[in-house]
Structure 1
């Protein structure tokens, strides 16, 4: 495009997405671990998203629930923890050290300082008291293996102490020490969410001591995370990477330089790929369809989305905070949305401007049947509801 850089247009970006995001039929994975490795992180703010995102990418989706539970709570090859943008994700366990050092440590320092500041304003005990409670909680958790906040409060009654959190702010409220302390310990990488109290859609989690990992250099960890991200989602612009990581622009630029990222030309400007990934990429041999859940890591993978999402669909598929709802995909583009009704039926609607043809509609219906098959009698309502999802759910 006149700048001497290799141009990667929207069709090739969709081709990369199809295989690297494990969405095309031939690219589907055998295990939840393979899915998480390919995507780097699965959004975990809505517990159901993790399972629905895995199920959409498994060659045999009938094993989605037991295999994902095995990975999360049996083998611990996947871990639910705070990560980018102060959001809960599910990561491959082997990446947790890099995520913690690259992202969580800086957030954790701010969170602990804020907690102590708000406790002081409320006349609550000091940092030494909080440290004592913290050590008692971690010891109790180590003895129990997994426990709810209520169970931990039975062992350490000081967790029941109440104080006014964020006084004077719009989100001011009265919280127990357990609510805020466990959150801080989670961001600090000392505890992680364990098995839920209910089904795979439940958001009530037990807590567990976090698996041990080496302490890494922050800059090196950022380079490692960014390289994994670009292998999964490259090309991506600097703005995409700043948005996804939540890092400062200087951190992203330093990490790009450290891994020797190669600039390429995109419709929206300069993008980056990892060294050795500049050559053209062909798409899958067969066309493909997918029904992806709310907050799916592919739909939320880039800040600049025009190459796979028509602007007119955004008001229907996103809530006011920028959270994406359930999406229907055809050959690398979002072409509509879907929902589950109270009777379990999976319903979907295409954009009037999609004009995808009968082959696409048949493939999308097949994906809806595939989803019905493994979800069964479970009812899934997104945590962040969007206009089209609400309308379709009826």
Structure 2
């Protein structure tokens, strides 16, 4: 451009996505840790998403479940914890301190204050009492290694105490101290999600003590998190950065300055890349590729401004009312349809755009690979979308 800023078109952005998100054949990962490190964060609100997102990017997807279980629950190289936008993610364990200091502290302070306010309004015990219960529960968790909320309540009965939330309001309800407190401890980085009670698709889980990590300065941690994410998802606009991190715009701008981010231009306007990432990526760097990505996949949810990979007219079919994306079919850097699993185990898909025979054959192959490694497992997304419901045949 005349002002010296480089223009990065949609085709180049799609090539970057293919390579850095490990979706093209030659960029596939060797293990779950490689995938998590490449993507920075895997959405973990729906447990199945983590495994499906990893499996779509491995050279050997048949090993997905065993290797991901080992990374999460035996080796401890991955951890499932609260992160950006008060959402549960799976991170590389060495990123725990960065996530906690960059995004968790502010949310944690707000969550604890809300809990204490709710308890006070209900006439429940005060902060001193709650601190005693917290310390006792953490000590019990240390003894048990991992435990469900019910198992912890047997060790510390005060976790069963109940109080009325929002008395007199239309949304009045009865809350349990344990449920609210464990949520607070999660965002404070004191506990993390442990092994599920059932299979890898189960939403019922145990709690575990969070891995020890150093306390970092918030601004330093924000700079590091943004640098890592921008290296994977750049160029990204300020709106993308603010949305993904959940930070204030002043924090985003401070972090951009701290890492020496370079400004480029995309179709949506000014955008940013890391200091060492200004060189153009040829469109031909990534061969054509197809992928079936799960609901809440970090690629589909990576940017707030998505027109360069997702046609606006497809959104009503692919997203729920809260903005959660469902399962998506990708061809060569664009979302072109959706997929679902039927009760029989069959993986079915539908294209919403014409893509040609080569693409259809590649999608069919990706669907067959997914069906093979799922085997007898049945997966229903936690957040249902219109097209996924229709394809699955399950209301």
Q: Does 1:291 align with 2:292?
A: yes
**Judging changes above 3 Å, is the alpha-carbon distance between structure 1 residues 114 and 379 closer, same or farther for their aligned structure 2 residues?**
same
Distance 2:46 2:138 in 1: 26
Indicate conservation of the 8 Å contact 2:201/2:379, yes or no: yes
1:170 is displaced (CA, Å) by 5.1
SS at match of 2:103: helix
The answer to whether the 8 A contact 1:118-1:167 is kept is no
Aligned pairs for 1:290-369 within 5 A:
290-351=291-352, 354-369=353-368
Closer, same or farther in 2 for the Cα pair 1:150/1:229, shift >3 Å?
Answer: same
Listed one character per residue, the Cα deviations across residues 246-299 of structure 1 (whole Å, up to 9, x for unaligned) are: 000000000000000000010000000000211111244521000000000000
Cα pair distance change 1:121/1:389, threshold 3 Å: same
- Partner of residue 388, structure 1: 387
Task: Supply the distance in 1 between the matched residues of 2:181 and 2:30 (Cα, whole angstroms).
Answer: 38
1:141–1:208 contact (8 Å) kept in structure 2: yes
Query: Contact (CA 8 Å) 1:24, 1:284: kept in 2 or not?
Result: no
Matched positions, count = 392
CA contact (8 A) 2:337 2:350 kept: yes
Equivalent-residue separation in structure 2 for 1:166 and 1:379 (angstroms): 38
In structure 1, distance between residues paired with 2:43 and 2:194: 16
Instruction: From the superposition, tell whether residues 347 and 262 of structure 1 become closer, same or farther in structure 2 (CA, over 3 Å).
Output: same
Structure 2 vs 1, CA of residues 169 and 200 (structure 1 numbering), >3 Å: closer, same or farther? farther
User: Aligned pair in 2 of structure 1 residues 169, 370: CA closer, same or farther (>3 Å)?
Assistant: farther
Is the alpha carbon distance of 1:229 and 1:154 closer, same or farther for their aligned partners in structure 2, counting shifts above 3 Å? same
Structure 2 unaligned blocks of 5 or more:
none
Map 1:212-291; keep pairs closer than 5 Å. 212-282=212-282, 283-291=284-292
| TM-score in terms of structure 2 length | 0.98
Whole-Å separation in 2 of the counterparts to 1:278 and 1:355: 33
Tell me the alpha carbon deviations over residues 187-224 of structure 1, each in whole angstroms, 9 at most, x when there is no partner: 10001110000000001110011110000000000000
SS at match of 1:192: strand
Cα distance, 1:175 vs structure 2:
1.2
- The alpha-carbon deviation at position 17 of structure 1 amounts to 0.1
Equivalent-residue separation in structure 1 for 2:78 and 2:168 (angstroms): 39
Which residue does 1:76 correspond to in 2? 76
Question: Could you tell me how far apart the structure 1 residues matched to 2:294 and 2:348 are?
Answer: 13
Given that residues 32 and 67 in structure 1 are in contact (C-alpha distance below 8 angstroms), is that contact kept between their aligned partners in structure 2? yes
Note the C-alpha offset of 1:355: 1.9
Give the root-mean-square deviation of aligned CA atoms. Answer: 0.9
Is the 2:15–2:286 Cα contact (8 Å) retained in structure 1? Answer: no
Shift of 1:169: 5.2
Q: Secondary structure at the match of 2:359?
A: helix
Q: Which runs of 5 or more structure 1 residues have no equivalent in the other structure?
A: none
The 8 Å contact of residues 24 and 286 in structure 2, kept in 1 or not, is answered as: no
Match of 1:140 in 2: 140
Q: Residue 116 of structure 2 corresponds to which residue in structure 1?
A: 116
Distance in 2 separating the partners of 1:35 and 1:167: 46
Is the alpha carbon distance of 1:39 and 1:171 closer, same or farther for their aligned partners in structure 2, counting shifts above 3 Å?
A: farther
CA gap of 1:204–1:243, structure 2 versus 1, over 3 A, is same
Match of 1:375 in 2: 374
1:45–1:88: 8 Å Cα contact kept in structure 2? yes
- Give yes or no for contact 1:341–1:392 (8 Å, CA) kept in 2: yes
Q: Report deviation, 1:173.
A: 1.6
Question: Do the aligned partners of 1:43 and 1:296 also contact (CA within 8 Å) in 2?
Answer: yes
